[in-house]
Amino acid sequence: MRKLLEHPKPGPENSMYYWRRYVGFFKVARNFIVISLGRYIPFLGLKRWLYRYGLGMRIGENVSLGLMMMPDVLFPELIEIGDNSVIGYNATILTHEFRVDTFKTGAVKIGRNVLIGANVTILAGIEIGDGAMIGAGAVVTKDIPPKVLAAGAPARVVKKLE
């Protein structure tokens, strides 16, 4: 089950209309610049440093963030990635979602020794257990237990890993 915090919308328009009431303009502008730089940097150590100190993400040791990896632009500080994990090319990690009538946020926790394939989308409020593998193109809509292979849209456990 996804762990999401619901924020009421302050007026009659859809929740995205009020994005500046949920997060400051200058924070989003800074995050956008840092993420835009980080998406193209091929140097893993520099990218980890940039995302740790420029965005406030909690990133473990020896984490590899693939080219074009896209962390959430509004609340990247809600992302935690465990030691020795690999986040693949063009993977997207979201920590917020706008709905018509509400706005929700949720931390994303990725365990140690996790492999996230290329073009994976991880929704807000998800936890991925240690040693899990997520197949390319998957959409992770619910928690993934440790040491399993999950794939598909939505992602489903395919098999247990040894």
Please tell me which residue in 96, 104, 109, 112 is annotated as part of the active site. Answer: 96
Say how many residues make up the chain.
162
User: Does residue 96 have an active-site annotation?
Assistant: yes
Buried b (16+ CB within 10 A) or exposed e, 66-76: beebbbbbbbb
> What distances in angstroms separate CA 76 from CA 5, 10, 87, 105, one per listed residue?
15, 23, 15, 11
Q: Give the span between the Cα atoms of 92 and 76, in whole angstroms.
A: 11
- Asked if 84 contacts 112 with a C-beta cutoff of 8 angstroms, the reply is yes
As annotated, the active-site residues are: 96
